């Protein structure tokens, strides 16, 4: 299969305000694709539209060859599309382990729950140490780890992450990125929205640069990294 997730000319927004003016992306399986762009460019809206939490006004979302544009978010999750949202949205009063178990709530993920839990604990030993701890008492970086872990518990085909390094110390950001690298090596398809352009370009295989609700630049990350157009997409001139 060439493309595992495809987004065709999506237009959407909030209420009266249109944010996306025709976004098209092709995500290849087993690769790490990143979406970058200035604030307000539509990165989070794009992920939300793919997930279905924001209704698409025009365009299509195709997962594994199936048109999922009309499906509600939980149905998309059941088909393996997982979003780790900006701001994490953990269950604050639940423990680490309970949060992870909630990740395996869907029918799809319930079967492999035990195995996946072990895998997540292997990838993130800090979570194993704190398995009974209330999630709201974790540090920022640990919470981000937990959010990712919960995403992994859903047995994703495609894991979408909205902002990984935001608010994290360089050390923690490093650690998370390394685990992301390892996951990619294991064959997981990852779509990453990232604030730090250099990190995004260094880590990913393919890059989309958004500006004002449109794709300004796309290409292999190595090539895009050298382009002045990236700077221009952020700074306008």
Partner 1 sequence: MSTLLQVTGVSLRFGGLLAVSDVSFSIEHGEILGLIGPNGAGKTTLFNIVNGVYKVDKGQILFEGKDITNRPPNDVVHLGLSRTHQIVKPLNGMTVLENVTVGACFGRDYLGLHPARQAAMEVLEHVGLADRAETSARSLTIAGKKRLEVARALAARPKLLLLDEVLAGLNPTEIEQMIQIIRGIRQSGISVFMIEHVMQAIMNLSDRIVVLSFGQKLAEGLPEEVSHDPQVIEAYLGDPDIADKLLEDA
Partner 2 sequence: MSAQPPTEAGAPARENVPRASHRASVPLASRSGGILLHPVFWLTLVFAGLMIAVPLHGNNVALREDLILVAVAVILASNLNLMIGYTGYVNFGHIVFYGLGGYIGLYLATVRHWNLILAALTAGVSVSLLALGFGVGILRLRGAYFALATIGVLVAVNSFVANFDPFGRSEGMYVSFDAYAPLGGPMRALWITYFLVIAVMALSMILSLWIKKSKFGLGLFAIREDENAAVVLGINARVFKAIIYSVSAFLPAVAGTLMFYKNGMIDPSIAFEYMLSLEGIVMLMLGGQGTVVGAALGGGLYERLRSYLLTSPRLSNFHLVIAGGMLLLVVLFAPGGLIGWLYRLIPRARKVIE
Choose from partner 1, partner 2, none: what does 33 bind? Cβ within 5-8 Å by kind: none
Asked if residue 73 binds partner 2 (CB under 8 A), the reply is no
- Contact by Cβ (8 Å): 127, 121: yes
> Cβ closer to partner 1: 139 or 169?
169
Asked if residue 69 binds partner 2 (CB under 8 A), the reply is no
Asked if residue 18 binds partner 2 (CB under 8 A), the reply is yes
Q: At what angle do helices 140-153 and 113-123 cross, to 10 degrees?
A: 150
Task: Give the integer Cα–Cα distance in Å for 162 and 78.
Answer: 19
Two tokens, residue 181: 């690298």
Residues in the chain, total: 237
Phi/psi of residue 191, nearest 5 degrees: -115, 120
Closest CA relative to residue 48, chosen from 87, 16, 3: 87
Choose from partner 1, partner 2, none: what does 234 bind? Cβ within 5-8 Å by kind: partner 1
> Cβ closer to partner 1: 20 or 63?
20
Choose from partner 2, partner 1, none: what does 11 bind? Cβ within 5-8 Å by kind: partner 2
Choose from partner 2, partner 1, none: what does 202 bind? Cβ within 5-8 Å by kind: partner 1
Report, in Å, the least distance between residue 122 CB and partner 1: 19
Q: Which stretches of the chain bind partner 1, using CB under 8 A? A: 16-18, 21, 38-40, 165, 170, 173-174, 177-178, 181, 195-199, 201-203, 211-212, 230-232, 234-237
Q: Characterize 74-89 residue by residue with b for buried, 16 or more Cβ atoms within 10 angstroms of its Cβ, and e for exposed.
A: eebbebbbbbbbbebe
Phi/psi of residue 58, nearest 5 degrees: -140, 155
Asked if residue 55 binds partner 2 (CB under 8 A), the reply is yes
- Taking CB under 8 A as the criterion, the residue among 32, 54, 146, 168 binding partner 2 is 54
> Cβ closer to partner 1: 72 or 170?
170
Two tokens, residue 57: 């006004």
Residue count, binding to partner 2 (CB under 8 A): 18
- Taking CB under 8 A as the criterion, the residue among 17, 171, 235, 237 binding partner 2 is 17
Helix (H) or strand (E) holding 33: strand 32-37
Closest CA relative to residue 11, chosen from 210, 213, 191, 207: 213
> Cβ closer to partner 1: 74 or 181?
181
Asked if residue 20 binds partner 2 (CB under 8 A), the reply is no
Task: Give the integer Cα–Cα distance in Å for 159 and 7.
Answer: 15
Q: Where on the chain is the footprint of partner 2 (CB under 8 A)? A: 11-19, 39-40, 44-45, 48, 54-55, 57-58
């Amino acid at each position: 299969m060439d493309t595992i997730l495809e987004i065709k000319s999506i237009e959407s927004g909030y209420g009266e305000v249109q944010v996306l003016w025709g976004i098209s992306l092709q995500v290849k399986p087993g690769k790490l694709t990143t979406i970058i762009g200035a604030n307000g460019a539509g990165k989070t809206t794009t992920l939300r539209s793919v997930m279905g939490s924001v209704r698409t006004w025009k365009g299509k979302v195709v997962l594994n060859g199936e048109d999922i544009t009309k499906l509600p978010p939980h149905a998309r999750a059941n088909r393996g599309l997982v979003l780790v949202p900006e701001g994490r949205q953990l269950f604050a009063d639940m423990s680490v382990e309970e949060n992870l178990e909630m990740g395996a709530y869907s029918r799809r993920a319930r079967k492999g729950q035990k195995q996946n839990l072990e895998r997540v604990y292997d990838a993130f030993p800090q979570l194993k140490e704190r398995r009974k701890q209330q999630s709201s008492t974790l540090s920022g970086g640990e919470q981000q780890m937990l959010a990712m872990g919960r995403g992994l518990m859903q047995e994703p085909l495609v894991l979408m992450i909205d902002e990984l390094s935001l608010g994290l110390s360089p050390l923690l950001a490093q650690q998370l990125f390394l685990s992301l690298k390892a996951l990619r090596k294991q064959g997981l398809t990852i779509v990453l929205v990232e604030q730090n352009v250099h990190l995004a370009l260094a880590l990913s295989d393919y890059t989309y640069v958004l500006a004002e609700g449109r794709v300004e630049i796309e290409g292999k990350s190595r090539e895009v990294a050298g382009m002045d157009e990236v700077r221009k997409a952020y700074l306008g001139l």
